[in-house]
Amino acid sequence: MNGDDCSNDSDLKDSHTLESGTNCTATLNHIPSGPCTLSWSHNSLVPIKVSSQLPISDRPPCILGVDEAGRGPVLGPMVYAVCYTLISHQDKLKDIGFADSKVLNETQRDKLFATIEKQSEWIGWAATVCSPQDISESMLRRAKYNLNALAHDTTINLIQSVLDQGVNIQEVYVDTVGSPESYQAKLAKRFPKIGKIVVSKKADSLFPIVSAASICAKVTRDAILCNWEFVEPGIDSTQRTFGSGYPADPKTVAWLKKHLDPVFGFPRIVRFSWSTTAKLLEMQGVDVLWEDEVETDSHKPLFPNNESTKIWPVTSRIVQTMKPCQF
């Protein structure tokens, strides 16, 4: 599956650009310091009004929503988040004003996320950040693991993590990835004790609990991008000139071209598995030939009677002269 297939013009319109000089999201306590080269997860504490010493089936029933941020961009992580609360409290989410994070500006999203953290006695949440490197590795390995499968498994793991905290989840609402019917059936089979599971298109605009999850995902991703630490030399970490990160954004494409190394490709913020990056590498990268030399008398196997333990010398050469790599 190709990442570019996940983006469209409306995604580009709804996304905001992290340019230098803008007011970036402040560093959030749940985000680890350092480069985002590995995927990670965070679970909030279980809200006091949700927790109980009773058996799980007798604990207050809760509703949970799932949404993501960053599925389509060629830059940065993809973040999945869940938000949950008591079923009896779900109307409070409407009163607070939760809506799809894509139709809110950055200030509105930050305020709503602060509300979620402030109301921690009755709202809980969790998030998984899939790093660009892990996304690329998953989609480019021999046994391909496409973006839909990654999304489904991430969602399942997040729901399970909340259940493992002892929360009595009885209703789940999910913004669909792929066919709503097959995805809903998959989740229902995986979680037979959850009474109601709804997978729907535009769930973030239909269900406030999904909107709350959308806020958690979007604010987390924005903060990671805003505070991204480039490990590659020669890139100014104070500049955010990569635009929205979507393949259709001219600023994003210009940034990719500027930071493409002809041998090693792109910085770690980039998803190598997107067709945008593949095409740029094909046009601007150099061909590299890795040669295996045949065995010589001076390199005979140390264990001639055991074919499985032969040691073969390997040399490598680059078939084209090029400039030293910058990173």
292 is in an annotated binding site: no
Return the residue matching tokens 């770690």. 268
Name the H helices within 175-297.
180-190, 203-206, 208-226, 250-258, 275-284
Quickly count: other Cβ atoms within 10 Å of residue 48's Cβ.
Answer: 10
3-state DSSP assignment of residue 1:
coil
H/E stretch holding 40 reads strand 40-43
Residue 136 contacts residue 170 (beta carbons within 8 Å):
no
175 is in an annotated binding site: yes
Return the residue matching tokens 């961009």. 73
State which amino acid sits at residue 3. G
Locate 255 and state its tokens: 């940034």
5 is in an annotated binding site: no
Q: How far apart are CA 236 and CA 267, in angstroms?
A: 12
- Give the rounded distance of the alpha carbon of 67 from its chain centre: 11
Q: How far apart are CA 223 and CA 181, in angstroms?
A: 33
Locate 144 and state its tokens: 């391909």
Dihedral sign from CA coordinates of 98, 99, 102, 107: negative
Question: What is the side-by-side order of every strand in the sheet holding 196-200?
Answer: 40-43, 123-130, 78-86, 62-69, 169-175, 196-200
- As beta bridge partners, residue 174 has 66, 199
Provide the 8-state DSSP code for 104: S
Residues forming the annotated binding site for a divalent metal cation?
Answer: 67-68, 175
Residues forming the annotated binding site?
Answer: 67-68, 175
